[in-house]
Structure 1
Amino acid sequence: MSEVIIEGNKRTKTSFLKRLAFVKEGSVLDSSKIISDVRRFKLLPSVASATYSINDVEIDRVKIIYTVVENFAIIPGLNVSQDNNDDIAYRTSIFDFNFLGQNQIIGGFYSKNVFNSYGVFWEAPNLFNRKLGIGINYQNNILQEPIFLDNNKDVNYKYNSKAFEIRAMYEHNFKNRFELGINLANEDYDYLEGDLNAEIPEQLGVKRISVVGEYEFNNITNSYQYVEGFRSIFTYSFTLNSKGDNNLLKNFFIGRNDFEYFKRIGTKGNWANRLRIGYATNSSTPFAPFALDNQLNIRGVGNTVDRGTASIVLNTEYRQTLLEKGWFAMQANAFVDAGTWQEPNGSIDDLITGESATVFSGLGLRFIHKRIFNAVFRIDYGFSLGKKANNGIVFGIGQYF
């Protein structure tokens, strides 16, 4: 092989793409590595699509040409929803997913959800080489958090979490990626209103030092709005040291795994599935980490309507492209969201008995800009198929999963 050429990239640096590529100048021609490079480029936030061609120069000399179609990667965001006081909540953000032309992520958000919150982020997954990078973030989240007690009444607290986190990122190979880091956090709960049990204090606070991490197995291929393959993402937090004034906040391990499976159906259809399993070791606290919420797991159920210390959620939907022209595509989808929870102070049997089970179904639309990274405006309407009488509309940016 004589030469590797990359075309079509304007903002993404050629040197960065060549550093990620398995095919190097002077190496032996290997079609499997070429296909892997194309798939690797497609997974980058800055790349909408990638193809390749092979040109013969002379005997034993060939030229590999990768052609990429870039995404616009500086993305403003605005989400509007309803807060726990039935007022308007919103979150505005701006992120550059191709900072310095090297697919680094930099940006931040500001949100108003009863109280004001903000956060700043920087991630450079390939900062040191093709395999090793780093990520840093700081978040100051202040929310009104409903806590659900045994007397079937909820109590509202002002929840303030200030957290600094740094992670190392390692891509072992094309399909396996690891993250490991340290999170330093101060968390405070201040009572606002509600029927408070005598054993639950009005103020709680804790300082944590936690090991956090993520493992991702990714065998996904994508072509614009179409996705196919399997992905598993395991995230965890393990508290090394926790100093506070109440044992109710001292969860020592929280883990969650998302199993995702996508399949193309014909030329315009896509079947998407997500199984989300979560578990926390401290099952005795009403300040449970897993929330039943519109934006997180069950479309139509409402805004933080329940909590649990373990959960199993299945989301499945069929997406059909109705219109596709140039940069624009419109999809319709039909979905079913189902979940079951282990209640605070409950047992793992809660997940099996189904007393906390919730099933919702519905329809939705997706408006997609094919040249802007993650530019999917979604609207879904979900309604209960079980004992809950809830229904409602859910808006958001990006596919639900």
Structure 2
Amino acid sequence: MKVLLGPINNAGQPIALTKELRRQGVEAHCLTYQNHKYGYGADKEVCFDPYSRVDVQFQTLQECLKEDYDIYHFWFRSLFYGGFYEYFTGLDLPIIKNRGKKIVHSFTGFDLRFQSECMQKNPYNVFQYGWKNIFSEESARKYLNFLRYFVDEFVVLDEELQSYLPEAKIIPRVLDLDEWEYIGIKETDCPLVVHAPSSPAIKGTPFVNQAVQQLKEKGLKFEYREVTDLKHRDAMELYKRADIVIDQLLIGWYGVLTVEAMALGKPVMVYIQEDLYQPSQTIPVENVNPDNLTEKLRNLIQDFDRRKDLSRRGRAYVESVHDVKKVTKKLIGLYESVLKEKERREFSPESFDDLLYFKEQYIDSVGAVPYKPLLKQKTVQYEKLVQQLNQLRPKANRSDRLQEEVNQLTRKLKKYEGG
């Protein structure tokens, strides 16, 4: 069995699974586009800019086809994509399937967490607090319908994401416990509270800051640190010193940070949707939300016995659910099942979602404008945006209004740069 994982190294999960797949006898490789800002690493990192994207991605696909992988396990996107769902994103899938290969696709978050459903399922969803997705729900749903023609198995990380795609299989987040030894906590009169706002609006960081400020004003003794702009290994050192770790407050499930903190034996505060709890396996975290965070944080700071209990049970939970060795065995079983399956032909002759998807891709990418003039036009627009952004950045720190202009220009640039 020969497997490719990539091209997005989401929270270091693909490379962690790749390494363990090899240890368990599977020939696996992790390929990622661009260098990850947290330094997770990969077997091969492929870099490109807006001008070279198409050539580089075509070359990458050609090289992978030559490697003759049995399974392509894609995370978030396939090998050919641009922007968010533009520029023939997914063009490689029919080419891969035409060679008789199997495709597994992992969703990782808001590529599947549709706004209309999320606002119904989650009373503390990010959308009600003003967060906006960078791509439309309509585009995401069309892409999902397109994927159904080519993907042999859909995979999600947890029950929360599975609620949006019930047919998807759960392969939990993983952690190499050999690298995350249990440390636990010690009794102290000034506990260290740690929060990692990798995406503040999604993590609920404003609510964390508000709770911290209120408790500080009331004279509660504790230290608060935010993990920002650190490589993953450097952040790990701060987690080791923590007495309490606050993870995400608006998603409705826990992320990789929770898994890492529990492995270290650190009490975790995170929001879990009540309807997703399974009585057979209670998750040993302090379940909090924006409404009760201040009260529950105060109680946990003052209650060492509660922290100690969460510390002990958290490590045991990770060993049971998130150990990379156990999860990888489950993933290998999924791969073996996919390889045994015959090609599924469940679509009626009148089903044209795949054709309509590519028609829209063509219109969005080329349309009625000749391709070369369009490319020249977009290049000029891109260069103007870069110039405007460079002029604004030095002044942005002194003005909230200018900072918002910088943010808007940055979002536009990402679209030109292919996401």
Higher helix fraction (1 or 2)? 2
Q: TM-score, normalised by structure 1?
A: 0.23
Higher strand fraction (1 or 2)? 1
Highest RCO, 1 vs 2 (Cα 8 Å, sep ≥ 6): 2
Q: TM-score, normalised by structure 2?
A: 0.22
